Each structure stands twice: as C-alpha cells, then as structure tokens.
Chain A
Amino acid sequence: MKRTLWLCLLYLGLLAVMVIQADTSANLGKPMEIEFQYSKF
C-alpha cells in the first residue's frame, strides 16, 4: 500500500509539472503582425 502511495505521488508530481509548464493555446508568443502571405503560386 505504501509503495502504491509513493507511486501515486510520483504521477501527481508529473501532473504538477504539467500544470506548472502549461500555457494557453491562444498565446501566439509574438505581437500580431499584418498577415499577407500568399503561397499558392
């Protein structure tokens, strides 16, 4: 039981790392610029 709890803590730790690292997908990471590229030619 004790071993299982330790493992549980390990996985919760991994989840905690994910929470700490997480960022919103809407963060484009750069200022918006005028978007005129045409790549079909």
Chain B
Amino acid sequence: MFKRTLGQHALAAALALSVAAAAGWAAVHLLALKTEAVPAAAPGIYIPNLGNTLDEQTRNLSRLSQALRTGDRLVILGSSELTSNDLRFVPYRYLADELQMPVLAYGHSGFQSLGMQFVLAALADDLSPASRVVVMLSPGWFDGDGGLGPDEFKEHANPLLPRLMRQPEGRAEVLRWLDAKADAGVFWSMAAEQAYVFRQRLASLWAPAHAAPAPEPEREGPPAAARVVDWDALAGEAQAAEQALMQDNRYAVRDEFFNKYLRTIPEGGKTAYQPQPLTGRDELRELAALMALLHQHGVEALFVMQPLHPMVFKDLDRFEPIQRQVADLCQRYAMRCMDMYDAPFEVGTLRDVQHLGELGWLRVNQRIAEEFRP
C-alpha cells in the first residue's frame, strides 16, 4: 500500500467521494424525512426536538405536519421555559388537560428564531391561515448580536436538511447560516446525519413490518367540552402557588433558585446583558425571516416577548431599541404580539430571573385562549 503514488490515492479518493456525492444526492431527493398518518395522541404533547431516532423524528414531524395543516392542535415553539413540565399552567398541561385545547409544544434551551424558521420551512406546504402557531421569544436571544448557535443548528436543522434544501426560504437561510457560522464540525455533522438516515433506511429493508415493535399506547385525553374560565380566580391560584415557594427572599424568585444563584451575590448591580453593545442584529434578521415565512403562508401567529426580572436586574432598559424593532416586525408582517417585558410586574410571573412561573404562564394561556380558542 505504501508503494502507491499520490496520484493513485487521489484518483481512488476522488472515485470514492464521487460515489459518496451520488449517494448524498440520492439522500437529498429520496431520504428526506417523510410524514405519515399518526395514531391519536394525548392532547398535550411536549417534545424538546424532533427525536432521538428516525422513527421518532418521522412520528413527531408527522404530528407537527398534521397540527399545522389542520389547525386541530396549537403549535407552541419556545426554548427553556417549555421545560417547566412541573407547572400546572404550562400550556401543554393546562390548555390541553383543563381547557381541552390540544397542544404540541416544541423546543428547549437554545431553540431560537432561526431554528423555528427551519422547522416551519421544512413543513411550509402545511402552513396556511388554519395553522395556529405561538412563538415564545426570550430577551436573552438578542444579547450581543444573538443568532442561532452551531449546536442548535445541528440538533434542529440537520434532521430536516433534505427538506430544507428543497424549500426556497429554508434553503436560503441554511446557506446564509452556513456561510456565516459553519465550521468543519457542522459540515461533518451534516454528512453524518445523512449517513444515519441512509443506514436506517437500509436497515428498515431487513426489518419486515410484522416484526416491528408495536407502537406505544398513547394516553387518551379528556373529552372536548366547552368551559367558561374565571381567569381572575385562576390568577389568584397561580400567584398563591408561586408565592408559597418564595417565602424566604427579597427578590420574588423561588427560594430554591435564590439559595443556589443569588444568595452569595451582593445586592444591586446585577446585569441581564453582556457589556458589549446590545444590537441583536443576527437574531432580529432571523426573527424577520421567521415572520416573513409565516406571513407568506397567511399564518397570523402569536409572538410572546417574555420578561426578565425587574427586581433583580438594573439594565433592563437597554433592551428598548430591540423591543421597538420587534414591534415594528410584528406590524410589518401582521403578527399578533404580546409584550410581557414591559407589562407591570406581578409577583409570580417569573419562577426565577427569566423563566415564566405559574402566573406568567396563566397570562399567556389567557391570551392564547382569546386569540385561538374556537
């Protein structure tokens, strides 16, 4: 082997890469995630991303597709606040279980405007005025220049790449992001993702359908029923539930959080944003792309700008220019927007310095019900 010339190595590698490129081309056209009919599911579904396996990804994408196409299920896209599955009023529990509004919530920490644009662009054919979409925005996304990070690109965009490359807006944003932020690790992960799908497709040829494990039974939801909601009474309950966990500190955050993060910090002088200029330039551009996609398909989504804790941070007014630009985008693309950042602060709105507590989620649920409840 060591006697081979460099030219022979180059020729062989070129041949092998050509075969790989042909396989990649086939993957883009033949191995894209497909959607299919899915069994009835629980009314409240939460998924942090598309899923750990090709089967899960196919099932979750199918659910998202159906929800967007028919509007039978509210789709909520957000980040770490969605992981609050311990709260009664997190929408995929409260709206689904107590208000009989089926919900599919998608996202976890780091899932930002562009990640959401990718997921929706991959299902662009399903978007229509019937789609009911809620987007939870976090001020932290706009810190510095903002923008989607490489790990999040890999996690949320890679499984959808073949679909995105066939959709004009999705393709444009993927190529723009790759040009601006991609490194060798991102390109390797993109190739590995397609290799994974290719392998799973091959493996499925050897696994006859009758040998496939039975699908997991899904929990049946409560029957649909019209209900009159006393939001004021519920707000009292929500605030009391949060306050009970905030007895031992001066910041109106949960004691557990205070003891872990705030107790040893001198009072005053806490800043929410990094010292560098707060432009949010990348995130604003990606948010505009998300709104443009929704607008193009006639979707009037609800965008919720979440608050930061005004009793903890002293630099919250630095966010004002970004707030104005987000409001302008809402107006330009005819989206429905709820600004909690500027709303008078009520104790219980936040469970810590940045994540919605019971009362905060209740206010969001109320707005969702007003906007989307049939």
Task: Out of B52, B108, B261, name the residue touching A38 (CB < 8 Å).
Answer: B261
In the complex, whether B300 has a CB less than 8 A from a CB of chain A is: no
Q: Which residues of B contact A24 (CB under 8 A)?
A: 52-54, 57, 158-159, 193, 196-197
Q: Which residues of B contact A40 (CB under 8 A)?
A: 271-272
Task: Out of A25, A32, A36, name the residue touching B155 (CB < 8 Å).
Answer: A25
Closest to A38 in B: B261
CB neighbors of A among B140-161 (8 A): 154-156, 158-159
CB neighbors of B among A18-41 (8 A): 18-29, 32-36, 38, 40-41
In the complex, whether B224 has a CB less than 8 A from a CB of chain A is: no
Q: A18, B53: Cβ atoms under 8 Å?
A: no
Q: A4, B195: Cβ atoms under 8 Å?
A: no
Q: How far is the CB of A38 from chain B (nearest CB, A)?
A: 5
Q: How far is the CB of B209 from chain A (nearest CB, A)?
A: 22
Residue among A15, A26, A41 facing the most chain B CB atoms (10 A cut-off): A26
Q: A12, B19: Cβ atoms under 8 Å?
A: yes
Q: B15, A8: Cβ atoms under 8 Å?
A: yes
Count, chain A residues at interface, CB 8 A:
31
Cα-based distance from A23 to B20 in the complex (angstroms): 17
Cα-based distance from A33 to B48 in the complex (angstroms): 10
Q: B53, A27: Cβ atoms under 8 Å?
A: yes
Known: A35-B83, A41-B262. A25 touches B352 (CB 8 A): no
Closest to A12 in B: B16
Known: A4-B11, A35-B109, A36-B355. A26 touches B51 (CB 8 A): yes
Q: A34, B86: Cβ atoms under 8 Å?
A: yes
CB neighbors of A among B175-207 (8 A): 189, 191-193, 195-199
Task: Out of A4, A19, A35, name the residue touching B199 (CB < 8 Å).
Answer: A19
Q: B49, A26: Cβ atoms under 8 Å?
A: yes
Cα-based distance from A22 to B288 in the complex (angstroms): 34
Cα-based distance from A32 to B86 in the complex (angstroms): 13
In the complex, whether B95 has a CB less than 8 A from a CB of chain A is: no
Q: How far is the CB of A35 from chain B (nearest CB, A)?
A: 4
Task: Out of A11, A19, A35, name the residue touching B195 (CB < 8 Å).
Answer: A19
Closest to B156 in A: A26
Q: A38, B158: Cβ atoms under 8 Å?
A: no
Q: Which residues of A contact B262 (CB under 8 A)?
A: 41
Q: B272, A32: Cβ atoms under 8 Å?
A: no
Q: A3, B54: Cβ atoms under 8 Å?
A: no
Q: Which residues of B contact A14 (CB under 8 A)?
A: 16
Q: Which residues of B contact A6 (CB under 8 A)?
A: 12
Q: A35, B108: Cβ atoms under 8 Å?
A: yes
Q: Interface 1/0s, chain B 259-302, versus A by CB < 8 A?
A: 00110010000111000000000000000000000000000000
Q: A23, B196: Cβ atoms under 8 Å?
A: yes
Q: Which residues of A contact B270 (CB under 8 A)?
A: 41
Binding site for B on A (CB under 8 A): 3-8, 10-12, 14-15, 18-29, 32-36, 38, 40-41
Cross-chain pairs A/B with CB under 8 angstroms, 30 sampled: A3-B4, A3-B8, A4-B12, A6-B12, A7-B8, A7-B12, A7-B13, A8-B12, A11-B12, A12-B16, A15-B16, A15-B19, A18-B191, A18-B192, A20-B199, A23-B192, A24-B159, A26-B52, A26-B57, A27-B52, A28-B48, A29-B52, A32-B108, A34-B84, A34-B85, A34-B86, A35-B109, A36-B351, A36-B352, A38-B261
16 other contacts beyond A15-B20, A36-B83, with CB at 8 A cut-off?
Answer: A4-B11, A7-B8, A7-B11, A7-B12, A8-B12, A15-B16, A18-B192, A19-B198, A24-B52, A35-B80, A35-B109, A38-B257, A38-B261, A38-B352, A38-B353, A41-B270
Q: Which 10 A-B pairs have the closest CB atoms?
A: A7-B12, A11-B16, A22-B195, A25-B154, A22-B196, A35-B80, A27-B52, A25-B158, A22-B192, A19-B195
